[in-house]
Amino acid sequence: MGLLDELSDSIANTTKDLGKMAQNAGDMTKLQYDKKVKEGELTKLYEKLGRKCYEEHKDEDIEEIKEITACELRLKEISDDIMALKGGKACPKCGALVKTGSRYCSACGEKIDDIFEE
């Protein structure tokens, strides 16, 4: 076997090796992406189950339920404060900003009756 034949075989083998490495890298990227997608799905399923569990047990004397309820109340207060700084309140139907004195929500068209009365 001559030098050119050896060089040709070496180039062919290197090309095959590089092709295999590129394929492996592509497979790895796809698997990592698939893993992230499944982790996201799993997180959403846990959240859905947690919400369902919370709704079924929200009147029970469970510390975690109390913490969630307190967090929800504080979040509502913060949202109300943000809306007040923007010059209005949240629409009771869609949550969009309704400017003080408005009779209808500009986002969903809901009739606004008494959200501005204290």
Q: In this structure, how many other beta carbons lie within 10 angstroms of the beta carbon of residue 69?
A: 13
Side-chain-side CA neighbours of residue 69 (13 Å): 12
Question: Do 87 and 100 meet the contact criterion of CB atoms below 8 Å apart?
Answer: yes
This prediction's pTM: 0.56
What's the pLDDT at 101?
Answer: 86
- Chain centroid to Cα 32, Å, comes to 19
Residue type, 1: M
Place of tokens 């050119």: 4
Place of tokens 């109390």: 66
Summarize the confidence of residues 54-69 as an average pLDDT: 94
